[in-house]
Amino acid sequence: MLVVVDMQAGFINEHSQGVVPSVVRLVKTWVSLDQPVVFTRFFNPPGSPYERITGWTGLRTEEDQRIVDELSPFTEAAAAIIDKPGSSAFTDEFSALVEESGWTDIVLAGIDTDACVYDTALAAYHSGIRPWVITDACASSGGPEYHDAALLLAGRNIHRQHLLTTESLFSGERGPLKGESA
For residue 125, what is the domain's CATH number?
3.40.50.850
Domain residues for 9?
Answer: 2-178
83 bridge partner residues? 41
The CA distance from 105 to 98, in Å, is 9
Overall domain count for the chain: 1
User: Would you state the pLDDT for residue 178?
Assistant: 65
pLDDT of residue 176: 82
Residues in the chain with pLDDT values less than 70: 178-182
| CB neighbours of residue 109 within 10 Å | 28
Q: Residue 179 has what pLDDT? A: 60
Cβ contact 115:147 at 8 Å: no
Give pTM, 2 decimals: 0.94
Residue-by-residue DSSP string for 71-124: GHHHHTT-SEEEEESSS-S--HHHHHHHHHHT--EEEEEEE-IIIIIHHHHHHH
CB 117 within 8 A of CB 150: yes
User: Whose CA is closest to 122, among 149, 84, 162, 82?
Assistant: 162
pLDDT of residue 181: 46
